[in-house]
Amino acid sequence: MQLNFDHQYDATLEYAKQLPSFDNIYAAQAFYYEFRQEHLHLLMEIANEYQVTLDYSKNSLIALEHLYFSLFRNNSFFDLQVTIDEFETSMGIYMCDVLVKQHPNKAEWLVEAYAYGDDKYVMGIRYGRYNQYFQNLFHQFYLMNKDAGKQELLRRYERMEKRCI
């Protein structure tokens, strides 16, 4: 069986198409700052409605994961007028924000030019010697984890935290 690699699909270019365009890094930084703030505000509103405390502690990640699966099981995202993708994006931003707040000298938000697209910039987090760029860290989280029992948010946070030291 001969493999054929002649197709023209390039994942880097497809990803670049999804990224917003900016005139300069300062516009991108302002955009991604607002993006993070809007998603954190959305998450805090939903958490308050369900009496879930999100205090930027490690334990709040466990509470957040329980809230996610509760909303998913009860099909409550529609009632809240939020998509699952928006909530998952908010979860990823919150988890990274916990890392930044817990390790201010070792973790920070960053915005950098995307190498494979003109005027394209990506948001990410630098922790220790590692950089991770993302839009949604937990895309279709419900498919990977069937319930909050694994505490996957906390486990992922702890893996990132180890690299801060």
- 84-119 confidence digits (pLDDT tens): 999 999 999 999 999 999 999 999 999 999 998 899
- Name the nearest CA neighbour of 157 among 64, 71, 29, 69: 64
pTM summary value: 0.89
Q: What is the pLDDT of residue 114?
A: 93
- The pLDDT of 49-58, averaged and rounded, is 96
Task: Answer whether 50's CB lies under 8 Å from 79's CB.
Answer: no
Query: For residue 143, what pLDDT band results from cuts at 50, 70 and 90?
Result: confident
Q: What sections of 50-108 are H helices per DSSP?
A: 58-73, 84-102
Phi, psi for residue 140 in degrees, rounded to 5: 50, 50
